[in-house]
Structure 1
C-alpha cells in the first residue's frame, strides 16, 4: 500500500496472468491490470481494471501493450496524482521561486503549474512535457539551467521526442486501456512547438530565459488536406443507422449539426442556459485568453428535440451527460462523442469523415442558403474570415465555377 500526497492510497498494481512477461503466458486469456484506489478524503474505494491489451493478437504485442498500460497507470496515480474516483488531478504547490539556475525540467514544471488553459490543452501539455522530460534525460539536458537552453537544444529535444514516439505505444483511453502505436509527423512537431511556446512565454516573463525560443523555431511544412464531409447519401445512411442503434446520440447529432457550436461548447450547456421561448441557448466560448458568454440560435427545425431535452432536465443539469441524457455535475469529455462516431459510423459503415465535419457541412449550407455573414453569426464568429477559409467547404468550388464563366476573349 502506497500513501500519496493527495491524501489517497493505492494498492499493488497486479497483472493477470502473473506470468505475462514470460513466453509461456497464454495469449488467449483475458488479460487485465488491477489495483485498488482509496480516497481518504471521502472514504471511497474503487477497484480499477484495465483490459486494453486484449485488442492485440500476438504475445509480444500484448506484453508491450500491458507494459505501456502499467507504466501509464502508475504514472497517472503516483506521479501525476490522478484520482480515478473524482477524475481530477491533484495540484501540487508549485515551487515558490524560480531563477536562471533552475534545472530545465523543473522550470517546465514551474511553467506548467501556471498555464491557464482548457482541459484538453492541459492534457496535451502534460503529455508533451512528459515526452520532453524523457528526451531531456536521454540527451543529458535535464539538469541544464533553464537560462542555458537555446534553439539548438530544443531542436535536438524534438528530434528525440520523434524517435521516442515512433517506438512507443500510446494510451488512448486512460480508463478503458485502449492503445495505439505512436506517430510523429510535421503536425506533431508544430503542436509540440506551439505548446512549448506557452511554457516559455511564462518563463520569459519570469526573466529566466532571454526569449521564447520554441516560437523562434521554424514550423515544419504540412499538407493542408481538403476537408472531407458526408455525401447526401451518407448523411441519410448515418441518420438511419444511429436512429436505430442509439437515439440519444441521434438527438445529439441533430442538435450539434444545427447549433453552430463546438462539441465541447454543446457538452457544457446546462438546462438553465436554454431559453426555449426565445429559441436560444448560452455557451461559454473559450478562445485564447478570452472567455466570454454568447447566445446561439435554436433552429425551429430542431426545436422539438431541445424541448424534449429540457423536459427531461433539472435546471442545474447538463443537457448531455452519461449516455447523452441530462444529468451530472460536470461535463462529459469530448471523446464520448468521437468514440460513438467511430463505433456507429466509421467502423461499420466505412465512412472516413469525422464527426466535426458536420459543422463544416452545416456552415457551407448556411452560406449557400443565406450568406457568409449569417453563417459567421451562427457560428459565433466576429468576421467571415473563418467561414471562408475553414468551414465553407464549397467556397473554392463556387469560385471555380465563377472563373469558368469569365468571357474575356484574347481576340
Structure 2
C-alpha cells in the first residue's frame, strides 16, 4: 500500500480522430494527472482519481474536447428538436399520415381504409391542426364516436366491431409515434374495446361455388387459378403472397409457407390436394426458384404484392354489384351476383376446412385411438405427439386424396 503512494497516479487513454488518422494511426496517447499526486493517502487519491475520471469523460463526450486540437469543438451531428421524424408539434392529421407511411405490415390496405374515415372525423372535429402532443385520450374517444356520423353520411354501416377496427388502427399508428418519441406513451392502449357478437360463418353452398367458378373461369382465368389453389391450401393470404417457386414441390405435393404469428416466424410444410395439382402446374409455368408465384397480375415475378390485392380482386369480381347494362359478365352472373355481397374471400377457407373435417374426422380419430391402445395409453395425445413419428405425414397424405372439390 505504501509503495503505491511513491508512484505517480494518472489516467491514460487513446483519442481517435478520423481527421488525424495519418498523424495518429493508433490514436493520440493522452495522460491526465490533474494534481492527484498531491494527496498522501490511498483513500484521498482514489477519490480524486474518481472525480478526475468523471471530468475527463464529461469533457470528451459532452463538451466535445479534442486533445489533438486542445480545444472543444461542436458535435458533428447536434441532437435537437430538428431530428424528430414526426415532431411532437406536427399537426395531428399530418402526423397520422406520416406514421402510416412508416408502417410496413401486411394489413396496410386495411389501415389505409380506416385512416381515411379517421381523418374525415378528425377534420370534422377540427382537431386536424392540433399538435399531436396535445391530443389526449378523450379526444381520440370523441374522434371514434364521431366516425359513426361520418360513416352514415356516406351510406356506410357502423357497429361495435367497426369501432374496435378503427381503434386498432389508432393503436398501430400510436405505436409508431412512441417508437419515434413523438409521444411518451400509447394512450390508445387503455381505450375501451367494445363487445360485439360475431356473425356466424356459413360454408358456401355448391351452387354458390359453381357460380364463382362460372364467373372467374370465363372472365378472369388467372384469378380462377389462384382461387383454386387458395381454396385447397389451408394458408393465409399473407402466406400465399410470400410463396416462391422454390417453396413448391408439385411431385411430392408439398408447399412450404413462412408462417408469421406475432414475433414468432416458422416454415411450415403443407400438402397439395390432388385437385390443386393441375392449378399449381399452370401457376408455376415460367416461374423461377426465387420468383414469387403470385406477384403483379397474379403472374410470377421478382417483387411480391401486398396480400390485400387478393381481397380487392375478390371485391371487384365477386362482391361488387353489377349494373344491368354491364356486359362484362354473362346474364347468369348479373342476376345472381347480389347474393355475394356478404361472401368474404376467407369464407372459402372455412368452407374447405369444414368439408375436409367432415370427411377425415372419423378416419383420424380411429387411427389415433388404435395407436394409443397399442401403446397402453388412455388418451391419444402421447401417441400423436411423441411416439407416432409419421402422424403428420400420414394425415397429410390423406388430406391430399380427400377429394374436396371447389365446384
* Pairwise TM-score range, normalised by the shorter structure: 0.5 to 0.7
SS at match of 1:213: coil
SS at match of 1:216: coil
Q: Hey, what's the Cα distance between the residues in 2 that align with 1:311 and 1:102?
A: 50
Out of 90, 97, 105, the position equivalent to 1:117 is 105
Q: Hey, what's the Cα distance between the residues in 2 that align with 1:364 and 1:111?
A: 40
After TM superposition, give the deviation of residue 158 of structure 1 in Å.
1.8
After TM superposition, give the deviation of residue 111 of structure 1 in Å.
3.4
Pairwise CA RMSD of aligned residues? 3.6
After TM superposition, give the deviation of residue 239 of structure 1 in Å.
4.0
SS at match of 2:202: coil
Match of 1:295 in 2: 269
1:310 aligns with 2:296: no
In our comparison, the structure showing a higher alpha carbon Rg is 2
Q: Hey, what's the Cα distance between the residues in 1 that align with 2:193 and 2:90?
A: 28
TM-score, length basis structure 1: 0.54
TM-score, length basis structure 2: 0.54
Match of 2:317 in 1: 340
After TM superposition, give the deviation of residue 296 of structure 1 in Å.
2.5
**Retained in 2: the 8 A contact 1:103–1:142?**
yes
Q: Any idea what the Cα deviations from partners look like across 1:160-202, whole Å, max 9, x if unmatched?
A: 333233324xxxxxxxxxxxx4443332211110110112223
Q: Any idea what the Cα deviations from partners look like across 1:339-380, whole Å, max 9, x if unmatched?
A: 2333779754344333321100111123233359x8xxxxxx
Q: Hey, what's the Cα distance between the residues in 2 that align with 1:100 and 1:304?
A: 56
For 1:107-256, what aligned pairs fall within 5 Å after superposition? 107-118=95-106, 121-168=107-154, 181-206=155-180, 209=183, 211-239=185-213, 242-243=216-217, 246-256=220-230
**Retained in 2: the 8 A contact 1:194–1:215?**
no
Aligned length: 267
After TM superposition, give the deviation of residue 101 of structure 1 in Å.
4.7
Q: Hey, what's the Cα distance between the residues in 1 that align with 2:157 and 2:319?
A: 20
SS at match of 2:152: helix
Q: Hey, what's the Cα distance between the residues in 1 that align with 2:215 and 2:183?
A: 55
Match of 1:403 in 2: none
Match of 1:349 in 2: 336
Change over 3 Å in CA distance of 1:217–1:294 after alignment to 2: same
Q: Hey, what's the Cα distance between the residues in 2 that align with 1:340 and 1:268?
A: 23
Q: Hey, what's the Cα distance between the residues in 1 that align with 2:115 and 2:344?
A: 28
Relative contact order: is structure 1 or structure 2 higher (C-alpha 8 Å, sep ≥ 6)? 2
Q: Hey, what's the Cα distance between the residues in 1 that align with 2:120 and 2:278?
A: 52
**Retained in 1: the 8 A contact 2:241–2:294?**
yes
In the alignment, structure 2 segments of 5+ residues that lack a partner are 1-81, 321-328, 365-407
Q: Hey, what's the Cα distance between the residues in 1 that align with 2:278 and 2:124?
A: 58
Which one has the bigger strand percentage?
A: 1
Greater mean alpha carbon deviation, residues 194-203 or residues 324-333: 324-333
